[in-house]
Amino acid sequence: MSERIAIDVDNLVVDRGGKRVIHGVSFTVPAGEITALLGANGAGKSSTVMALAGAIPAAGGDIWLSGMKLDGLVPDRIRREGIALVPEGHRVLGQMTVEDNLLVAALDRTAAGRKAGLDRVFAIFPELKERRNQLASNLSGGQKQMVAMGQAFIARPRFMIVDELSLGLAPAVVKRLGEALTLAAGEGIGVLLIEQFANLALGLSSRAMVMERGRLAFTGTSAELKANPGILHGAYLAH
Ligand SMILES: Nc1ncnc2c1ncn2[C@@H]1O[C@H](COP(=O)(O)OP(=O)(O)OP(=O)(O)O)[C@@H](O)[C@H]1O
């Protein structure tokens, strides 16, 4: 029997600043698909994915990667197990070149692996190749997001978690970024996509979840959610 590849979150609880912000959520992120995580500001999306990546501790519940327990591991170990987080705000190391920004995310690969990784990122985002020797601080917001996504791609992850794909970016760039995620899913990478614009997310994803005040108000297919707009309206109005 082939191994079932998925992130399984079971009854996750997260506290921040002494306050419970995630109240026991359970969901699965399968390989080879894009799963959208939607919800109003403050609903708990970032807290959920930061806990998945080990950036903040879980106060309860379990996080599994294909049967291996992830909660309690340090972020670097979780990254090495194949979970790449693209954090909110397309942050880059501004005083380093585009190429070095990408290479720091591939330090544990061989020289040949790093070269192959760079070639792959440059094939997906040719504008980064043209700018490979420029300081990352000089890039546009969209190009910085490409670098942040490139750092995920170069690590050859099994899962990519993208916190706010489109925030502040022009539609043409967002389209390119979305295509890169579709490509990743087509290659078998599981993508968890947090996105403010529900239509954009549901256009890319096959599965969707709606979070409302630290709880999941919906999990199902994106088609189901599109067919029931009241669920989304309710979640955004409930805020
Ligand atoms: N560093 C923090 N310390 C304390 N509470 C926090 C912190 N960050 C977020 N929170 C609280 O946690 C709750 C969930 O916030 P979170 O950022 O996870 O939501 P979100 O759905 O990602 O929203 P946004 O889109 O605004 O980031 C909110 O009540 C928020 O005020």
User: Which among 12, 22, 46, 163 is the best mutation to test ligand 1's pocket, defined by most ligand atoms within 8 Å of the CB?
Assistant: 46
CA 99 / ligand 1 centre spacing (Å) = 32
Ligand 1, atom nearest to 47 Cα:
18
Q: Respond yes or no on whether ipTM tops 0.95.
A: no
Tens-place pLDDT, residues 152-169: 999 999 999 999 999 889
Nearest CA to ligand 1 atom 25: 41
CATH homologous superfamily of 6-237 equals: P-loop containing nucleotide triphosphate hydrolases (3.40.50.300)
Ligand 1 mean position, distance from CA 89 (Å): 14
- Block residue for tokens 């690969």: 109
Domain boundaries, the chain: 6-237
Q: How far is CA 14 from the centre of its chain?
A: 18
Q: What is the largest CA-CA distance in the chain?
A: 52
Cα separations (Å) of 19 from 56, 60, 72?
13, 14, 20
Atom nearest to 39 CA in ligand 1: 21
164 three-state secondary structure: coil
Residue nearest to atom 14 of ligand 1 (CA): 44
pLDDT in tens, the chain (239 residues): 456 799 999 999 999 999 999 999 999 999 999 999 999 999 999 999 999 999 999 999 999 999 899 999 999 999 999 999 998 888 899 999 999 999 999 988 899 999 999 999 999 999 999 999 999 999 999 999 999 999 999 999 999 999 999 988 999 999 999 999 999 999 999 999 999 889 999 999 999 999 999 999 999 999 999 999 888 888 776 65
Pocket test for ligand 1, best of 14, 45, 213 (most atoms within 8 A of CB): 45
**Dist. CA 48 → ligand 1 center (Å):** 10
* Cα(56) to centroid(ligand 1), Å: 12
- Ligand 1 atom closest to 196 (CA): 25
User: What burial class does residue 41 get, using C-beta atoms within 10 Å of its C-beta: 0-12 exposed, 13-18 middle, 19+ buried?
Assistant: exposed
What's the gap in Å between 58 CA and the centre of ligand 1? 14
- What is the C-alpha R_g of the chain? 17
pTM assigned to the model: 0.93
Taking CB atoms and a 6 Å cutoff, what residues make up the pocket around ligand 1? 16-17, 21, 39, 41-47
**Helices and strands (H, E) in the chain, number of each type:** 10, 10
